[in-house]
C-alpha cells in the first residue's frame, strides 16, 4: 500500500511540474509572438542657428546728443554721460519666430512650460512667456494641444508676442543647448553677469552696439542723421510686407542692399521685386533701427542717467512705476508700427539714444498688442 502511495505522489509532482513547464512555455511563446511595444523616443528640435559678431568693448558718451525731448517721458536721455562696456558677442539679427519655436517645443517636451487660455506660462506659475496665434492672430506661433508650429509666412521674421520673461527663458534654454552657463533666475528675473551664457543686452551695451562705432561725430540714428526708408522697416516705409494682416514686420536681415524676389519671400504685396538699401551698421548688425522694438535687460528708470555708474551700468534695481502701477523693462530700437514724424518721415522712435519702457506700445496702453516688440541676445 505504501508503495502505491509513493507512486501516486510522484505522479502528482510530475503533473504539477508539467503544468508549470507548460505555462512557462506558453508565456515564452506569447512573448515571442507579441514583442513589447517600445515608447517613442522624442528628442529636442534641432536648433535654428544664427550669426554672432564680436563687439570689442570701449567707452562712449551715452545719451541724446541732439537736444530731443520726448513728450511722453521728457529728459530720460540726459544727462549725456560717459560709460564703459566690456567686449561681448551679439546676434547680428533679432531672434526669429522659428528660433523661438525651437525653444517652445523643446520646453514642452521637458514639461517646463504649459499653455493656459492660449498663453504660454512657466509650468505651475503666473509667469507669462508668449502669446499664441490662438490668443491673437498678430502672433505667428500656434498651439494645437500637442505641439507648437508656425501658422503663417513669417518664420524668419522677428518673434513678437513674447514677454520679457519669455526672452530670458529662451536665453537660459539656448545656454543649456550650447553647453554654457545659465544667466537668469527665472523666478526673480535677476541676471548673473559673471556667467558665460546668453542674456539680453544691458541698455548701455545695446546703445554702444547700435552706434556701430560712430562716435566722432555722434549720430542721431544708427547709420546717419537722416532716414532712408528703403534701408529700414519703419512706419509707411513702402516695403512689400506693408499690406494685409498685421504685423508689418520684415524678415531679419532683409535690408542688405540686395534685390529681393517675391518668389523667395512670399510677401503679401503685389510687387514682384523690391530693391533694398544696406541697413547694416558699423558692427555688422541689422535692424538696430526699426522692424521691432528690442527688450533690454534693464528695468526702465526714467531718471537713471543722473546716477548711472561709468563701468558697465546695468540699470536700476527696480523699475520706474508706470501709470498702471507696475514697473516695466526697457526697450530700444524703434519699430514698424508707430513713431514721430521728423523731416516728413516717421522715424518709428528709432533714434539711437531713444529710451522707452515696454509699457508704451500704442494707444491701448497698457493693453496694446505686443506685435512690434521682440529681442536679440548677447553673451560675454
Whether residue 189 contacts residue 368, with contact meaning beta carbons closer than 8 Å, is answered with no
CA dist., res. 158 & res. 155, Å (int): 8
* Cell numbers for 120: 504660454
Q: Which residues contact 235 (CB under 8 A, 6 or more apart)?
A: 336, 337, 338, 339, 346, 348
pLDDT given for residue 74 in this prediction? 84
Pairing of the two strands 128-131 and 119-122 = antiparallel
Q: What is the rounded distance in angstroms from the CA atom of residue 124 to the CA atom of residue 162?
A: 19
Under DSSP, the state recorded for 257 is S
Angle, CA of 31, 35 and 39, to the nearest 5°: 135
Per-residue model confidence (pLDDT) at position 43: 60
Which of 350, 80, 372 minimizes the C-alpha distance to 204?
Answer: 80
Q: What is the pTM of this model?
A: 0.88
> Model confidence over 128-144: pLDDT tens digits?
999 999 999 999 999 99
- The tens-digit pLDDT sequence of the chain (380 residues) is 444 344 344 444 434 444 333 433 443 334 343 333 333 344 667 788 899 999 999 999 999 999 998 888 888 999 999 999 999 999 999 999 999 999 999 999 999 999 999 999 999 999 999 999 999 999 999 999 999 999 999 999 999 999 999 999 999 999 999 999 999 999 999 999 999 999 999 999 999 999 999 999 999 999 999 999 899 999 999 999 999 999 999 999 999 999 999 999 999 999 999 999 999 999 999 999 999 999 999 999 999 999 999 999 999 999 999 999 999 999 999 999 999 887 788 999 999 999 999 999 999 999 999 999 999 999 99
Write down the pLDDT at residue 31. Answer: 38
Please report, for the chain, the start and end positions of each structural domain, with discontinuous segments joined by +.
1-37, 53-380
| Helix axes of 164-177 and 97-109: crossing angle, nearest 10 degrees | 70
Residue 24: the pLDDT is: 37
pLDDT of res. 343? 79
pLDDT of 283:
98
CATH number of 53-380: 3.90.1580.10
Q: Would you list the DSSP string of 144-179? A: -SS-EEE-SS-TTSBP-SB-HHHHHHHHHHHHHHTT
Residues 6+ apart with CB under 8 A from 337: 235, 247, 248, 348, 362, 371, 372
CB contact set of 225 (below 8 Å; sequence gap of 6+): 219
pLDDT of residue 363: 94
Amino acid at each position: 500500500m505504501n508503495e502505491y502511495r509513493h507512486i501516486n505522489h510522484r505522479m502528482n509532482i510530475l503533473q504539477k511540474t508539467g503544468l508549470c513547464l507548460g505555462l512557462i512555455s506558453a508565456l515564452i511563446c506569447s512573448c515571442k509572438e507579441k514583442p513589447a511595444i517600445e515608447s517613442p523616443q522624442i528628442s529636442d528640435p534641432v536648433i535654428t542657428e544664427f550669426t554672432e559678431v564680436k563687439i570689442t568693448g570701449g567707452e562712449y558718451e551715452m545719451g541724446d546728443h541732439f537736444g530731443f525731448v520726448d513728450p511722453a517721458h521728457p529728459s530720460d536721455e540726459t544727462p549725456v554721460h560717459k560709460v564703459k562696456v566690456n567686449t561681448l558677442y551679439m546676434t547680428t539679427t533679432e531672434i526669429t519666430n522659428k528660433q523661438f519655436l525651437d525653444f517652445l517645443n523643446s520646453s514642452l517636451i521637458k514639461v517646463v512650460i504649459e499653455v493656459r487660455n492660449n498663453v504660454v506660462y512657466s509650468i505651475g506659475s503666473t509667469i507669462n512667456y508668449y502669446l499664441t496665434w490662438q490668443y491673437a492672430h498678430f502672433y505667428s506661433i500656434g498651439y494645437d494641444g500637442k505641439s507648437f508650429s508656425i501658422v503663417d509666412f513669417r518664420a524668419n521674421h522677428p518673434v513678437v508676442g513674447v514677454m520679457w520673461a519669455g526672452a530670458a527663458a529662451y536665453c537660459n534654454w539656448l545656454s543649456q543647448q550650447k553647453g554654457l552657463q545659465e544667466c537668469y533666475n527665472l523666478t526673480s528675473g535677476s541676471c548673473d553677469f559673471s556667467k558665460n551664457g546668453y542674456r539680453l543686452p544691458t541698455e548701455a551695451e545695446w546703445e554702444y552696439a547700435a552706434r556701430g562705432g560712430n562716435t566722432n561725430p555722434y549720430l542721431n540714428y544708427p547709420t546717419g542723421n537722416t532716414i532712408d526708408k528703403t534701408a529700414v522697416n519703419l512706419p509707411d516705409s513702402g516695403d512689400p510686407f506693408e499690406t494685409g494682416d498685421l504685423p508689418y514686420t520684415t524678415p531679419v536681415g532683409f535690408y542688405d542692399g540686395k534685390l529681393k524676389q517675391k518668389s523667395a519671400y512670399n510677401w503679401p504685396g503685389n510687387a514682384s521685386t523690391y530693391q533694398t538699401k544696406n541697413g547694416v551698421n558699423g558692427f555688422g548688425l541689422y535692424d538696430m533701427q526699426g522692424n521691432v522694438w528690442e527688450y533690454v535687460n534693464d528695468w526702465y528708470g526714467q531718471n537713471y542717467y543722473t546716477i548711472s555708474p561709468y563701468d558697465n551700468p546695468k540699470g536700476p534695481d527696480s523699475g520706474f512705476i508706470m501709470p498702471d502701477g507696475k514697473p516695466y523693462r526697457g526697450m530700444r530700437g524703434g519699430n514698424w508700427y508707430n513713431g514721430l514724424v521728423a523731416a516728413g518721415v516717421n522715424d518709428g522712435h528709432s533714434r539711437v539714444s531713444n529710451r522707452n519702457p515696454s509699457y508704451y506700445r500704442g494707444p491701448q496702453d497698457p493693453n496694446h498688442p505686443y506685435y512690434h516688440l521682440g529681442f536679440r541676445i548677447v553673451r560675454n
